[in-house]
Amino acid sequence: MVCQRVKNLPPSGIREFFDLVLGMPDVVSLGVGEPDFITPWRVREKAITALEEGYTSYTSNKGLLELREATVEHLKRKYFLHYDPHKEILITVGVSEALDLALRAILEAQDKVIVVAPYYVAYPALIELNGGEVLYLETRFEDKFKIDLEKLDSLLQHSPKAIILNYPSNPTGITYNREDLEELWAQLSKQDIFIISDEIYDELSYEGEHIPFACLEGAKKRVLLLNGFSKGYAMTGFRIGYACGDEEIIEAMTKIHSFSMLCAPIVSQIAACDALKAQEEVSSMRREYKRRREFIVEELNRIGLPTHLPQGAFYCFSSIKKYGLNSLDFAKRLLLEKKVAIVPGKAFGANYDDFIRISYASSWENLKEAVVRIEEFLESI
């Protein structure tokens, strides 16, 4: 019954491993891809009030005008980015939906899309589901996971329709500074390629200000900016994302969204309006992640897991090369022997089987305990 396209989606041992973790009690988990903070109370309180006041209907397909206006205003204030709240923004059910819509809107069968590896798991899957082909732009630990422009150039020879960028990145935590971005844009601007920039971790940048790709000179028309409230505002379960871009792409995405989703949930949208006022809470969470980052990166390197200092998000992508175990075996043994959960690097690209992703969206006490256990495990290998 199930179609071939879905059957073809990469099968992986990762799912079994996830089931193993989920079935095990009392695990110290550094495997979680969402904030450990609960949504700021002012936002939760707003959602409760919305329910009390009877906000239980659909909204406009594009999302509440109030949220679109507030979001556009936020982008203007923070990044000097200007979007029209009526034509150039769509409120979606998380960035995942926005990405799916974008790919559905632009891809013809066999169109190629560049994905920077290691990648967030949804990118290749959604491209393939939408009939596209993935071109992997692999980055290396030795290059601090920055993009190799020569490799990019050779992939551009295949005339890809689009490239998906994600910075700060899940799983590596790296981000691009102005120089990196300008070099990238210099190359991409020469060709007719659409840029989908997933910047969901923008609020969690620890070294200097985040620079949206759309801010680069002349880039805005060619860029679809994807962002949302999940990470920076600790609102994953509210499922509110947004896409900003040229009127044509937003209109096409809205068309699909109006059939498949109708609109994002109204209570979540109302809560999100208030979230933009919670900048104090956002910056307090950022400070806490940053402290944990300093701690965990030093500790991981000390116990023998080479790790670059991530500049954003809340992940470390550590090398396990010297231990001679593939990432799934490493993760399984660490789980069974020491009850510590991490995500095997293989989940983020076939060629990243000698890495593990460590999430520091976990209390400092947990991180400390996990370090002790991982150190014992490494000594026992």
Partner 1 sequence: MEDILEILENNARISLEDLAKLTNRQKKEVQEVVEKYEKEGVIVKYKAVINRERLNEERVTALIEVMVSPQKDVGFDSIAERIYRFSEVKSCYLLSGTYDLLLIVEGKDIHTVASFVAEKLAPLSNVKRTVTHFMLKKYKEDGVILVKEEKDKRLTITY
By CB under 8 A, residue 267 contacts partner 1: no
By CB under 8 A, name the one of 139, 170, 307, 319 that touches partner 1. Answer: 170
User: What are phi and psi for residue 29, nearest 5 degrees?
Assistant: -105, 120
Contacts of 196 (CB under 8 A, 6+ apart): 99, 102, 103, 162, 163, 164, 165, 223, 224, 226
Number of other residues whose CB lies within 10 A of the CB of residue 84: 12
By CB under 8 A, residue 292 contacts partner 1: yes
Nearer to partner 1 (CB atom), residue 88 or residue 128: 128
Cis, bond preceding 171 (omega within 30 deg of 0): yes
**What is the C-alpha to C-alpha distance for residues 244 and 60, in angstroms, rounded to an integer?**
16
**What is the C-alpha to C-alpha distance for residues 289 and 231, in angstroms, rounded to an integer?**
12
Nearer to partner 1 (CB atom), residue 21 or residue 225: 21
The span of 22-30, 68-76, 213-221, 318-326 binding partner 1 (CB under 8 A) equals 22-30
By CB under 8 A, residue 22 contacts partner 1: yes
**What is the C-alpha to C-alpha distance for residues 312 and 21, in angstroms, rounded to an integer?**
26
Nearer to partner 1 (CB atom), residue 90 or residue 134: 134
By CB under 8 A, residue 330 contacts partner 1: no
By CB under 8 A, name the one of 280, 294, 337, 376 that touches partner 1. Answer: 294
User: Looking only at residues 25 through 44 of this chain, which bind partner 1 when binding is defined by CB under 8 A?
Assistant: 27, 29, 31-34, 36, 38
Grouping H, G, I as helix, E, B as strand and the rest as coil, residue 92 is strand
By CB under 8 A, name the one of 70, 101, 121, 204 that touches partner 1. Answer: 121
Q: Which two tokens stand for residue 271?
A: 């809560």
Least distance between partner 1 and beta carbon 343 (Å): 7
Order the strands of the 355-359 sheet from edge to edge: 315-319, 355-359, 343-344
Contact 105, 239 (CB under 8 A): no
By CB under 8 A, residue 291 contacts partner 1: yes
Q: Under the rule (CB under 8 A), what is the footprint of partner 1? A: 18, 21-22, 24, 27, 29, 31-34, 36, 38, 120-122, 170, 287, 291-292, 294-295, 298-299, 341, 343, 347, 364, 368
